[in-house]
Amino acid sequence: QVQLVESGGGLVQAGGSLRLSCAASGRTFSTYTMGWFRQAPGKEREFVARITWSSAWSSARTLYADAVKGRFIISRDNANDTMYLQMNSLKPEDTAVYYCASLDSLFSRGVGNVDYWGKGTLVTVSS
């Protein structure tokens, strides 16, 4: 059974930083595209970032939503089945529940392309 467990959320002031972690179990972590999504109050869940790795590549490939590009960094530690989201220069509009997700294909990014979800971790950015 696949399990994704997020941690690292909390309250931070605007301009601050947080690092989210996602611990995965139940599958061969390194062979799957993983991503972060978020859902703000009253809004739909949206894509934040994705990290994809193939044995044919020398390094993982990443993709970011325009809203977080240049501020957030996604990474993964395949040896420990853990994915991270380093969030810098946080803004009040980044306030949301952040979800770890396993995606169904190499370059997927949609909510409908998620095979498994974590339960989420709340990030609150105060102004």
Between CA 39 and CA 43 the distance in angstroms is 6
Instruction: Name residues whose C-beta falls within 8 Å of residue 55's C-beta, 6 or more positions apart in sequence.
Output: none
Tell me, what's the pLDDT at 107? 87
3-state secondary structure of 94: helix
State residue 70's pLDDT score.
Answer: 98
How far is Cα 13 from Cα 25, in angstroms, rounded to an integer? 32
The average confidence (pLDDT) of the chain is: 94
Confidence of residue 67 (pLDDT cuts 50, 70, 90): very high
CB 61 within 8 A of CB 4: no
% of the chain at pLDDT higher than 90: 80
Q: pLDDT, tens digit, for every residue of 1-42?
A: 889 999 999 999 999 999 999 999 987 777 789 999 999 999
